[in-house]
A and B are shown apart, each in its own frame.
Chain A
């Protein structure tokens, strides 16, 4: 097949400059994914109008859909560019940077807020130190493991936040990814010890109650993380916690 694939790419030179569109063409091959296509474009950045332009900037590292770097809007939907095959897409294919984060350049955005929010919800296990204490953590049943494992694959790609009507640069909501991290940490046998602090961290403005229950997040997560299940569980737990806080009962 000597077919050509067209890409319409939204470009922006700096965080403060206006965006503009350019169209590129690459030859089709079996198994072509969006990252490979962008690689061809950067090697020879020629628009369909025959204009020599700056190479398109985007983010990627693993090329195996596990680092979360390459997420962008592909035909208006947040997707990992490395694992999205071109022949599954309608043409011309539009590529845009995620809209819920500040643009750095072209398809690159600044997702540092996601990592700050993991800090905000205390998404870690408090260990005495990273030295050997000659024992491990308590046992975990295979069923319990299976539930936790689903959540531990979150690669901070930001798709769920992009799809969420409650999440935005001007809005305080932490979003599904950080909430799912709370769910995960609270279910570890010793992570449980700090359950209350994490619940309190999401019982404030911008926390769980800002979720509008649109359920978009779970549909776009490339790792199929059951985000709405986590949010449901946390809803029950925060209610119980609120009552405990009111009536001062011990944990």
Chain B
């Protein structure tokens, strides 16, 4: 008789819960690990919405257009079959959420309402008031609770994933985790592991919109055990984040979608309050530079435009790194209803009211397009992925899968707004189905928990803890994290150059040294938050190096990765067919010859080793450069 199969899911955000649900529905036993109650996962932060083509606004929106927008928005760097399948399956996924009870906002007829988001021309974004991520997560959380009550699934909340249990053949057969209350380190054998540990914004420290769980530490741990990272140099900076020194808070893209305008005073010496500055003295730079998209240009263009206005033109408000995001010309009742959460956050954390006074914002590290490398299998008859294939979302370590923001799957060089709640959920669903089929093909179950593949790893992890606890160094982990954030955002940020990147890599290595010389200042060994934090910090610094080295190697501008030295300038006043434009198109194609490839980072003793892999372009050939003018 076969042993019952067991799957461990690390992470209880949208990705992890979807995966867990599909594995449990397939009849396997699931254990979910999370740093805290899964309902508190970072996914709840998403305000704006989730994309799916419903074409219910009389705009002739099509699924094909969603595919094209996603691929072009990502500067063609995403493998195309997974993107195709994701966009095709998106409406069905939304309907499943609806059945789970997610409170999507409604039209007068009671249909799912849609709004406009950045980087697209059609209304395609579903939303639930202004707390879409929270509502989506709660929908799946409820279903997980139901599975739990049926005995198919078990949660291990307040447990931190530390490493994989790999057998002699390098097959993943469980995890080593630490109880965040007792600090006990224990092995959990399983037949497969799904990593769904979320993003890595905390590598940018307090200069990120991410929650504290988004450290990337779990992904970096499996990287050290041989998993590959892909495309980590592509990090999206959200153009409109409110400044703060615990974190920067996102003012959702919806603010621009609903009619918000970005501007600065034309005169750097401007002294007047924003409301007293007449129209002719305001510089609506996005509207001037990108007349056809205006304020709804994609995030990378908006972030760079703001960076340029502040750092090149010296027009930041009051000489500081900030610009206005203005809603004051809109109907207060309308925005109150549509943007309640944003208004609320701003009022709460800034003290002024955006209905009456423009908000002050600046770009902030927001979303990692890159992450763990995962495979897919193409279905040649449909051009999408082969549904159910155990290759989908498999990492290069057999038995280890990844989904959600910690994988690199769907966004290429840049992510469209409202596409990542979609990719997190969709990838979880696909990966769950994929794991279920992997288990079908397994001949042998996992060993018992006292097997040496676990005990040696437990010893290693205990040793790492002991070193940190006994160390009497000079460094403070919290201070080091702030330094990491400043370093990454100023030197591996919106605008990059090779000299600065090389310096950053040196500085990161110094930081890594310093992070071994820590004093935890903590005698209490119960619920030792400092210990967990210091361990995550070391991973974040390592991850910072992977990002910086990947960025150093890529000598071009693509999506969110911007090195002005290698920029191909769009010829002004020229459009397709004009000689100047065609010359540009040819240069752009030549650049694709060199650089349209996936960056792969592998761990070695001397740091990340960079290789490249071809991109599957079978759906849409890269003929059209992005042009948002």
Cα distance, A184 to B102, chains bound together (Å): 11
Is A119 an interface residue, CB under 8 A from the partner? Answer: yes
Is A215 an interface residue, CB under 8 A from the partner? Answer: no
Which B residues touch A155, using CB under 8 A? 39-40, 44, 134
Is B431 an interface residue, CB under 8 A from the partner? Answer: no
Q: How many A-B residue pairs have CB under 8 A?
A: 192
Candidate in B112, B140, B211 with the most chain A CB atoms within 10 angstroms: B211
Is A90 an interface residue, CB under 8 A from the partner? Answer: no
Cα distance, A185 to B143, chains bound together (Å): 12
Cα distance, A138 to B509, chains bound together (Å): 57
Give the segment of B239-247, B409-417, B577-585 that binds chain A: B239-247
For chain B, residues 99 to 120, give those with C-beta under 8 angstroms from any C-beta of chain A: 99-101, 103-112
Give the segment of B90-98, B227-235, B545-553 that binds chain A: B90-98
Beyond A104-B181, A149-B129, whether A54 also contacts B100 by CB under 8 A is no
Candidate in A29, A31, A131, A190 with the most chain B CB atoms within 10 angstroms: A31
For the complex formed, measure the closest distance between the CB of B368 and the CB atoms of chain A, giving whole angstroms: 18
Is A83 a contact partner of B348 (Cβ separation < 8 A)?
yes
Candidate in B41, B131, B148 with the most chain A CB atoms within 10 angstroms: B131
Beyond A31-B349, A55-B530, A127-B100, whether A142 also contacts B110 by CB under 8 A is yes
Is A241 an interface residue, CB under 8 A from the partner? Answer: no
With beta carbons under 8 angstroms apart, the residue of A31, A132, A145 that contacts B105 is A145
Cα distance, A145 to B128, chains bound together (Å): 10
For chain B, residues 305 to 350, give those with C-beta under 8 angstroms from any C-beta of chain A: 345, 348-350
Is B389 an interface residue, CB under 8 A from the partner? Answer: no
Beyond A62-B45, A139-B111, A155-B134, whether A55 also contacts B521 by CB under 8 A is yes
Residue tally, chain B, CB below 8 Å to A: 72
With beta carbons under 8 angstroms apart, the residue of A44, A62, A111, A152 that contacts B37 is A111
Cα distance, A45 to B157, chains bound together (Å): 28
Which B residues touch A29, using CB under 8 A? 245
Residue tally, chain A, CB below 8 Å to B: 69
Contact with A along B139-151 (1 / 0, CB 8 A): 0101101101100
Is B44 a contact partner of A127 (Cβ separation < 8 A)?
no
Beyond A55-B529, A105-B524, whether A35 also contacts B246 by CB under 8 A is yes
For the complex formed, measure the closest distance between the CB of B422 and the CB atoms of chain A, giving whole angstroms: 14
Which B residues touch A85, using CB under 8 A? 348-349, 351
With beta carbons under 8 angstroms apart, the residue of B101, B112, B521 that contacts A185 is B101
With beta carbons under 8 angstroms apart, the residue of A125, A132, A141, A191 that contacts B106 is A141
Which A residues touch B351, using CB under 8 A? 31, 85
7 shortest interchain CB distances as A-B pairs: A139-B110, A132-B92, A136-B95, A124-B142, A43-B478, A67-B40, A105-B527
Which residues of B line the A interface, CB within 8 A? 18, 21-22, 25, 36-37, 39-42, 44-45, 89, 92-96, 98-101, 103-112, 128-129, 131, 134-135, 138, 140, 142-143, 145-146, 148-149, 157, 181, 211-213, 244-247, 249, 345, 348-351, 429, 476, 478-479, 521-524, 526-527, 529-530
